[in-house]
Chains A and B, each alone.
Chain A
Amino acid sequence: MMTPTSDCFVSVIAPLHNDADIVEAFLGDVAAVLAAHYVNYEIVLADDGSTDATAEKVVRLLERTPNLRLMRLSRRFGRDIAISAGLDTVIGDFVVVMVPESDPPELIPQMIERCRSGVGIAYGIRAHRPAESPFLSLGTRMFYWYFNHVLGVDLPRNSTDFRAYSRQSVNAITRIKDRLRYLRTFGGYVGFGGQPFVYEPRPRRPRVRGRGPGEAIDLAINMTVANSTRPLRFVSLLGLGASLVSGLYALYVLILRSLDRDIVRGWAAQQVFLGLMFAVIFLTLATLCEYVGRLLGEIKDRPLYFVHEERTSASLLLDPDRKNVVTESL
């Protein structure tokens, strides 16, 4: 029997959404690992507007799981915001974020050890991607290349939401108030030294819920806009180049006209030029729309999330047997 030896305070955050089928097993595993290794710990479950029996299940688990806290968001806000809500309230010296569906609790101590040795954020990297369509696989590959090489944003390939943070990096991340939140990219932004942690996900469901192609494209655009203004710069440059080309072309037309009076023949060239210009203009507009939309979102300054209720488990579990003894001794 292992006795908890570590004196550091560990917090575990798990976002939940319609996880009634796996939450009990997940929580049991996490609580066992934490109790075996740490004197002080807490588990914060952030229920992201589940519509199944997740919350009811957790409320029952509160009665027999020490150091457990349930935060119910008022509706579905998305996994990154649910995790952010957890990050806003945890008190641990080290914080582990994990997704119940796929992340193995027994790796928590290893991740914490990384952080204790001075790493600001230990981020999980899937050893293998789950089987997916060749189309999605190609898209993902392109996205990572584009993100890391074109946008210059540090986004490790195959990184997951399974990560461990030091208190310092949690404090830094909770100061980022962006509405479009992709915590996987915040790590690189705040710095403090990130280190990959390669692991094999252990799915708790026969089929892990993946993203559809529509969702994946949506996510890619949002992540791009949230993390980089380079596309905007790119279309500015493109517009500038196009103006230059159009200036040169005008000059060319003038010269041509001064040399040769028979100019009806230029119709085709003009059509090509017009088409090119419109393409540039619409690309520019489309990019602007994305950024204006984002500005609008940020400018509203609404709360990031609303907490419907918070419940904490008791630290003393009143034993039904003890109760009987008390009654008899009266």
Chain B
Amino acid sequence: MAELDAIFVGGGFFGCALAAHLRERGQDVVVVERADRLLTRASYNNQARVHNGYHYPRSLLTALRCRVNFPRFHAEFADCMRDDFEKYYAVATNGSKVTAAQFRQFCDRIEAPLSRAPAAVRRLFNPDLVEDVFAVREIAFDAVRLRERMAERLASLGVPVLLNTEAVAVAQAPGGGLELVVESAGSRETLRARAVYNCTYARLNKLLVDSGLEPLRLKHEVTEMPLVELPEGLAGKAFTIMCGPFFSVMPFPARGLHTLSHVRYTPHAEWQEGPGLPARDPYAVLASAPLSTRFPHMVRDAERYVPALAATRHVDSLWEMKTVLPQSEVDDSRPVLHRTDCGLPGLTCVLGGKIDNVYDMMDSLTATVSTPGTQ
């Protein structure tokens, strides 16, 4: 195969969006994806929330970037968005890291729309556990439509997508550039490119370690998000309790259900990876773990805050690996990792936390790539 400008390993949202971004700037790129479709893992198995800043009262930068990126994301993927639900943020009385007054002030500062929830909605909450309830504007995306949009877009730009193809290892090519060994249906092949973008999220370190490179410091979590049917009285509503070991109910448009996620019960196991720490393949851990749902825990806690949630029906659960940067655990920020020359010149590692942060990453990427069209 002739030398490419860039190979994107991982056909998740970030890999696809960044490949399209570089293609639009005239580069010759391909996307390598191990599954038989794009956007099957963390890009699909998540809260489907397009953040509008509300979630990060303790990290103003993250909140502000959400505010900036929100309209851009909303405009670009308008047909994947759903905003036909009422979203309420409630501040817990016990154990919350923000008070209602602080939360209101914070939303004013980032200019995020916020109003006191109507009395009928406030009555849904247990006044002993909830200090105040606010109506906000938040949007959910339809992961299936997003996948279709992304596939169409890559096709219309002429970006080849190699499905059912797993990246095995990356190495310095003799005479400059990089070589990526890929495996498809048992046969191996080598792709050559000036740059390789490792956008494999949970498997970032697997590709690095398999290539004999030093792993990044990452934290992995085995997560569960139950998909639920809400009781009739709560139809068309979504809730988040701020800001601590609480829960969130968000529409999951791809299945016509809601996700119930809980800060305390969604992570089932976690471990850290990095130089000198043992490496595990997160997907293998997830596939072999004896998974048993914690929906009973989640719903019992949730009904203490919103009694009507007691009648929530569990349909099934989304199980997925969640990968974050260890430093973001401390200050609650969610930066995108964009690490260039990750052990090899031309090898870049990208780790996106939130889907709408992709624009920050694009801007960062544009700044690092050389003038296109030189090949």
**Given the interface contacts A88-B94, A327-B278, does A316 sit within 8 Å of B300 by beta carbon?**
no
Q: B188-216 toward A: CB 8 Å interface, digit per residue (1/0)? A: 00000000000000000010001000000
Q: Which residues of chain B are near A255, meaning CB under 8 Å?
A: none
Q: A293-318 toward B: CB 8 Å interface, digit per residue (1/0)? A: 00000000000000100101011111
Does B270 lie at the interface of the complex (its beta carbon under 8 Å from any beta carbon of A)?
yes
Q: Are A40 and B296 in touch, CB under 8 angstroms?
A: yes
Q: How far is the CB of B240 from chain A (nearest CB, A)?
A: 18
- Beta-carbon nearest neighbor of A324 in chain B: B278
- Beta-carbon nearest neighbor of B296 in chain A: A40
Does A243 lie at the interface of the complex (its beta carbon under 8 Å from any beta carbon of B)?
no
Does A326 lie at the interface of the complex (its beta carbon under 8 Å from any beta carbon of B)?
yes
Does A175 lie at the interface of the complex (its beta carbon under 8 Å from any beta carbon of B)?
yes
Q: Which residues of chain A are near B294, meaning CB under 8 Å?
A: 315
Report which of A9, A318, A326 forms a contact with B296, defined as CB distance below 8 A.
Answer: A9
Q: Are A322 and B288 in touch, CB under 8 angstroms?
A: yes
Measured CA separation A314–B290 after assembly (Å): 13
Q: Are B268 and A315 in touch, CB under 8 angstroms?
A: yes
Query: Which one of A174, A312, A314, A316 has the highest number of Cβ atoms from chain B below 10 Å of its Cβ?
Result: A316
Measured CA separation A9–B128 after assembly (Å): 22
Does B315 lie at the interface of the complex (its beta carbon under 8 Å from any beta carbon of A)?
no
Query: Which one of B20-28, B174-182, B279-287 contacts A?
Result: B279-287
Does A229 lie at the interface of the complex (its beta carbon under 8 Å from any beta carbon of B)?
no
Does A92 lie at the interface of the complex (its beta carbon under 8 Å from any beta carbon of B)?
yes
Measured CA separation A93–B288 after assembly (Å): 32
Does B222 lie at the interface of the complex (its beta carbon under 8 Å from any beta carbon of A)?
yes
Q: Are A316 and B290 in touch, CB under 8 angstroms?
A: yes
Does B183 lie at the interface of the complex (its beta carbon under 8 Å from any beta carbon of A)?
no
Q: How far is the CB of A304 from chain B (nearest CB, A)?
A: 9
Does A330 lie at the interface of the complex (its beta carbon under 8 Å from any beta carbon of B)?
yes
Q: Which residues of chain B are near A315, meaning CB under 8 Å?
A: 265, 268-269, 292, 294
Q: Which residues of chain A are near B255, meaning CB under 8 Å?
A: none
Report which of A9, A40, A316 forms a contact with B289, defined as CB distance below 8 A.
Answer: A316
Q: Which residues of chain A are near B288, meaning CB under 8 Å?
A: 322, 326
Measured CA separation A314–B267 after assembly (Å): 7
Measured CA separation A314–B219 after assembly (Å): 14
Q: Are A314 and B269 in touch, CB under 8 angstroms?
A: yes
Report which of B128, B285, B292 forms a contact with A174, defined as CB distance below 8 A.
Answer: B128
Q: Are B206 and A330 in touch, CB under 8 angstroms?
A: yes
Report which of B128, B206, B268, B300 forms a contact with A92, defined as CB distance below 8 A.
Answer: B300
The DSSP consensus for interface residues of chain A is mixed
Q: Are B279 and A93 in touch, CB under 8 angstroms?
A: no
Report which of A40, A175, A310, A323 forms a contact with B245, defined as CB distance below 8 A.
Answer: A310
Q: Are A307 and B95 in touch, CB under 8 angstroms?
A: yes
Report which of B265, B269, B292, B296 forms a contact with A317, defined as CB distance below 8 A.
Answer: B269
Q: Are A314 and B270 in touch, CB under 8 angstroms?
A: yes
**Given the interface contacts A310-B245, A315-B294, A326-B280, does A91 sit within 8 Å of B269 by beta carbon?**
no
Does A329 lie at the interface of the complex (its beta carbon under 8 Å from any beta carbon of B)?
yes
Does B77 lie at the interface of the complex (its beta carbon under 8 Å from any beta carbon of A)?
no
Q: How far is the CB of B2 from chain A (nearest CB, A)?
A: 30
Does A89 lie at the interface of the complex (its beta carbon under 8 Å from any beta carbon of B)?
yes
Measured CA separation A14–B304 after assembly (Å): 21
Does B264 lie at the interface of the complex (its beta carbon under 8 Å from any beta carbon of A)?
yes
Report which of B95, B222, B279, B290 forms a contact with A310, defined as CB distance below 8 A.
Answer: B95
Q: Are B300 and A91 in touch, CB under 8 angstroms?
A: yes
Q: Are B297 and A316 in touch, CB under 8 angstroms?
A: no
Does B3 lie at the interface of the complex (its beta carbon under 8 Å from any beta carbon of A)?
no
- Beta-carbon nearest neighbor of B301 in chain A: A91
Q: Which residues of chain A are near B128, meaning CB under 8 Å?
A: 174-175
Does A47 lie at the interface of the complex (its beta carbon under 8 Å from any beta carbon of B)?
no
- Beta-carbon nearest neighbor of B282 in chain A: A326
Q: Are A330 and B95 in touch, CB under 8 angstroms?
A: no
- Beta-carbon nearest neighbor of A170 in chain B: B304
Measured CA separation A201–B296 after assembly (Å): 33
Q: Which residues of chain B are near A101, meaning CB under 8 Å?
A: none
Q: How far is the CB of B116 from chain A (nearest CB, A)?
A: 22
Q: Which residues of chain A are near B206, meaning CB under 8 Å?
A: 330
Q: Are A330 and B281 in touch, CB under 8 angstroms?
A: yes
Q: Which residues of chain B are near A88, meaning CB under 8 Å?
A: 94
Q: How far is the CB of A141 from chain B (nearest CB, A)?
A: 38
Q: Are B280 and A327 in touch, CB under 8 angstroms?
A: yes
**Given the interface contacts A9-B296, A42-B297, A322-B288, does A89 sit within 8 Å of B279 by beta carbon?**
no
Q: Are B264 and A312 in touch, CB under 8 angstroms?
A: yes
Measured CA separation A330–B244 after assembly (Å): 37
Interface residues of A in 156-185 (CB under 8 A from B): 174-175
- Beta-carbon nearest neighbor of A39 in chain B: B296
- Beta-carbon nearest neighbor of B224 in chain A: A315
Measured CA separation A40–B298 after assembly (Å): 11
Q: Which residues of chain B are near A330, meaning CB under 8 Å?
A: 206, 210, 281
Q: Which residues of chain A are near B264, meaning CB under 8 Å?
A: 69, 310, 312
Q: How far is the CB of A262 from chain B (nearest CB, A)?
A: 72
Q: How far is the CB of B167 from chain A (nearest CB, A)?
A: 13
Measured CA separation A314–B289 after assembly (Å): 12
Known: A42-B297, A314-B268. 12 other contacts (CB 8 A): A91-B297, A307-B95, A310-B95, A312-B264, A312-B265, A316-B222, A316-B268, A316-B269, A316-B289, A316-B290, A327-B278, A330-B281
The 5 closest A-B pairs by CB, nearest first: A316-B269, A91-B300, A314-B269, A315-B268, A91-B301
